[in-house]
Amino acid sequence: MHWITRLILGVALLSGSCGVASARAENGPGDETDVLIVSGSVLTSQGQGVKDASIHFSLAGKPLETAGDIVTDTSGAFDAELRVPRGSLTDGQVRYTVQRRSYKATRPLPLGHVVHEQVDARGVHHYLSHVKLTLERSVSPALWIAGAVLLAVYVFIALELLHRTLAALVGASTLLFVSYTLGTFDPAYRILSFDDAMHAIDGNVIFLLMAMMIIVGVLKKTGVFQWMAYRSFQLARGNIYLLAVLLMLVTAVVSAFLDNVTTMLLIVPVSIEIALALQLDPVALLLPEVFASNVGGTATLIGDPPNIMIGSFAQLSFVDFIHQLALICLIGLAAAAVYFVVWFRKDYHAAKVADVPAMTARLREEYQITDRGLLTKAGVVLGLTILLFMLHGQLHMEPSIAAMAGASLLLVISDVHIVEMVEREVEWPTLIFFMMLFIIVAGAEQTGLIQIIADWVRAAAAGSPVVAVVMVLWVSAIASAIVDNIPFTATMLPIVAYLTGAVPGVGNGVLWWALSLGACLGGNGTIIGASANVVTVGLAEKAGHPVGFVAYMKIALLPMLITVALATVWLLAVELPPAGH
């Protein structure tokens, strides 16, 4: 019996010990540890969130374990829950460090103010702390590589050493290749990840361009563009001065709603034929037309690629562009018309209009509406698409959705074969150029190059909204005359976004209009300033009327400067809020 009693007592003691151990396991080290919840944000010197920054915590110099890696989200925010020994918070021993490639790593920093929140049922104390940290950029090899690639792409495009699409493709590929080779072994060479590159591609811009190319491709089949040129000749009734102005007006209006490159592709052959019939140098009609094309395209969201990029990045609507830019573009067009009429007055005066009725009859026969039914369908769909553009702010719908809906509907009701449209009318090299360009600019932004430029511009502006507006407008105009305005605009987008928040008095978005006017109007200054210029000069050369780089600039540079000067007065007098507002 004795041994049975001992056995029972032993089992009872063992059970009691297990119960205590189980209770301790359930309660955790409640009487030994506290819970610390840390939230915070990591920002750039411009106040923008730093994505994918790693936060590490330590206690008395030793790392603290966390449930997982603590990294910031796209806004730079993070949350962390830590278990720390009781009493360590009051001693201020918990510190944290932040690391992110292309930024200087921080030294161990104290948490700062810690708030005691509650004690739970198990006796565990819960504390809260919030931190806000500004990271400084570091000049890393990645920054130099991103800058060199961006500059090289500019040079290759400006000097036409490579096709612009190929130049952009090589540049983007270089950034990603370096990131996943050298960057794998040394984070200092990590420029951007593949996910970052894909996120940088603005799908709104790509799909908007693609859909509008399809709509324009269907409209081309109707002969409406050539018919409009014929009607301009008919209305002018042999008055060459009036004819030149009417052709400029037609080109500007069409380019405000359709791609200006396509507009010139269709208008130029008719203009050349009319000019030759009048014994007039075609250049006297073509240069005013292409100038008007770029001015007209500035007036709307969809008129020129830089505006599409600006609208998508800054969330500006179709109505915003018309409201802010249409009037100044009309003024600029009028000034340009006067200039070109004066410049080419000798050519216009020498033109011979032998038989206006016979010429009108021939053009009527040659340039007719070839498919009225298709024109009606395309016109209705285009009208509905533009209506959706105007309403997209109220509908919270991206412009690309409106354009894709219009293009899809038009393809269905027009019986035009989609394969033909996709193969012949969609300019895939242009779309690929945009995609690669977005990646290149993202590389410059990720490594801090864009921020360095933005800080320099802000310092140069010295806090003056007037100086900021003038700088953005004129730097954009001059740069866009030297290089293609599309890559320049892509580079300027994050810079202008930063300046809009950093410079007082420009919060109404005036800098976006300065960028639009500068990039679009400045592209008129040289042959390579805008794609429409290159296309027009190429068609003129093919017809036996070449225009050299210097000859083009000699004619177009002064009116470009005049329109930009008018835009400067407009922005400062009308768009810039009065001081103190």
Q: How many CB atoms lie within 10 A of CB 116?
A: 12
Alpha helices in 110-181 (DSSP H): 141-158, 164-180
Q: Evaluate whether 443 touches 149 at the Cβ level (below 8 Å).
A: yes
3-state SS class at 74: coil
The superfamily CATH assigns to domain 33-134 is: Aromatic compound dioxygenase (2.60.130.10)
Q: What pLDDT does residue 520 have?
A: 92
Q: What pLDDT does residue 18 have?
A: 43
Which structure tokens are listed for 445? 């932004």
**pLDDT tens-digit readout, 94-151:** 888 888 877 887 888 887 777 877 777 777 888 888 888 888 877 888 989 999 998 8
Q: Evaluate whether 41 touches 76 at the Cβ level (below 8 Å).
A: yes
Angle at 174 between CA 172 and CA 175, to 5 degrees: 70
Q: Which residue has the tokens 């936060």?
A: 55
Q: What pLDDT does residue 514 have?
A: 94
DSSP state of 578: P
3-state SS class at 130: strand
Cα–Cα distance measured from residue 403 to residue 398, given in angstroms and rounded to the nearest whole number: 9
- 182, 191, 253, 439, 483 from 195: Cα distances, Å: 18, 12, 40, 11, 29
Long-range Cβ pairs for the range 412-419 (8 Å, 24+): 413/377, 413/381, 414/218, 414/374, 414/377, 414/378, 416/217, 416/218, 416/221, 416/374
Q: What pTM did the predictor assign?
A: 0.74
Q: Which residues of the chain have pLDDT under 70?
A: 1-31, 46, 67, 87, 89-92, 353-355, 578-581
Q: What pLDDT does residue 566 have?
A: 96
CA-based nearest residue to 137, from 555, 479, 446 = 446
**pLDDT tens-digit readout, 492-529:** 888 898 888 888 888 888 999 999 999 999 989 888 77
List residues bridging with 57 in a β-sheet. 96
Long-range Cβ pairs for the range 451-460 (8 Å, 24+): 451/44, 451/45, 451/46, 451/137, 451/498, 452/137, 453/495, 454/46, 454/494, 454/495, 454/498, 454/499, 454/502, 455/45, 455/46, 457/495, 457/499, 458/498, 458/499, 458/502, 458/503
Taking 3-state DSSP, the helix, strand and coil percentages for the chain, each rounded to the nearest 5, stand at: 65, 10, 25
Which structure tokens are listed for 390? 């105007």
- 29, 219, 227, 303, 357 from 262: Cα distances, Å: 73, 11, 15, 11, 30
Whether the CA torsion 411, 416, 420, 425 is positive or negative: it is negative
Q: What does the domain layout of the chain look like in residue ranges?
A: 33-134, 139-222+370-447, 223-368+448-575
